[in-house]
Amino acid sequence: MSNYQPQEEKIFHGVDYSHTELAIRDSMDSMLSQRGYWEPTLNAFNKKLQGIIDKKGVNKKNALVIILDYLAEVLGNSEPEVMKIILARKKDVKQTRVSVAGNNFQALVAHSLMENVLAKNLPPVHIALKPKNHPIVQKYATIKIGNEAQKPDMDILIYQEKPRTPLVICSCKTSLRERAGQTYRWKLLVDLATADPNHLKQHPECPINKYNIEYQSDRKIYMARVTADLYNEIAQPQQRGMFTFFDKAFVTNKSRQELPPNVQPMSKIISYLRSIYEN
């Protein structure tokens, strides 16, 4: 059973969820109508959720946290029905299967977090899927070096509309091999762009001074890695160093029992996001 311990409801007493709930329900509707391979994975999610409620004897609110550790299983359970759609559309099976799995995993993580907002396990935050062109990303997550713009690899953006509130950028991948380099580069650039100005004045020879970096740092940005770890890569020594570039890393695969110190089960993202947005 998950180690999740529900916190008292009074944490969110008086908090207005109405605007956020409407936006989330619109996003859920859009995902279902615009993503042709998503419905089987959504059905598998709902089936697993009901199974957790029945087998563990918990209510839906608690089950929505527990299921976060089983998203890799949900993705796998949906594959036969997804394959039927791929075959019916006469797509290249090998290529389409990989692409759909990645896209459905990202949608599954987003949907799970949206459900936890609706259940009030999370504060009223917005969950944006594929937010590369979102206005907040353009303003706060874009680093300019001369004429070149750098953005992180982002699959999900978590934010509140209130000024100066933090942003959480999630890179969600089925394996640890996918597109880590782009995130490394961006995170290093952020560290350079937010260096102590006094240090730069005192040390003009510092390499940071030679880069013409422009960055709007009014909102603190947290970088999170979410992985299904489908190929059991998380225990490999060469992969462990990668996690140091992220503020947090989470695995959605319940079968992974021995995790590196800086990687947590996905259910822990609830307390992590609460610590960021409850203050």
Under the phi-then-psi rule, with left for phi > 0, alpha for psi from -120 to 50, and beta for the rest, what region is 124? beta
The 10s digit of each residue's pLDDT in 226-248 is 999 988 888 777 777 778 788 99
The 10s digit of each residue's pLDDT in 180-230 is 666 777 778 888 877 787 877 888 887 777 777 778 778 999 999 999 998
Q: Is residue 5's pLDDT more than 60?
A: no
Q: Is residue 12's pLDDT more than 60?
A: no
pLDDT at 216: 76
The 10s digit of each residue's pLDDT in 49-102 is 999 999 999 999 999 999 999 999 999 999 999 999 999 998 888 889 999 999
**Which H or E element spans position 93?**
helix 93-118
- Domain 17-277: give its CATH code: 3.40.91
Between 164 and 17, name the one with better pLDDT. Answer: 164
Whole-angstrom Cα distance, residue 167 to residue 149?
19
pTM to 2 decimal places = 0.88
User: Residue 259 — φ and ψ, nearest 5°?
Assistant: -110, 150
pLDDT at 179: 62
For the chain, which residues make up each domain, given as ranges? 17-277
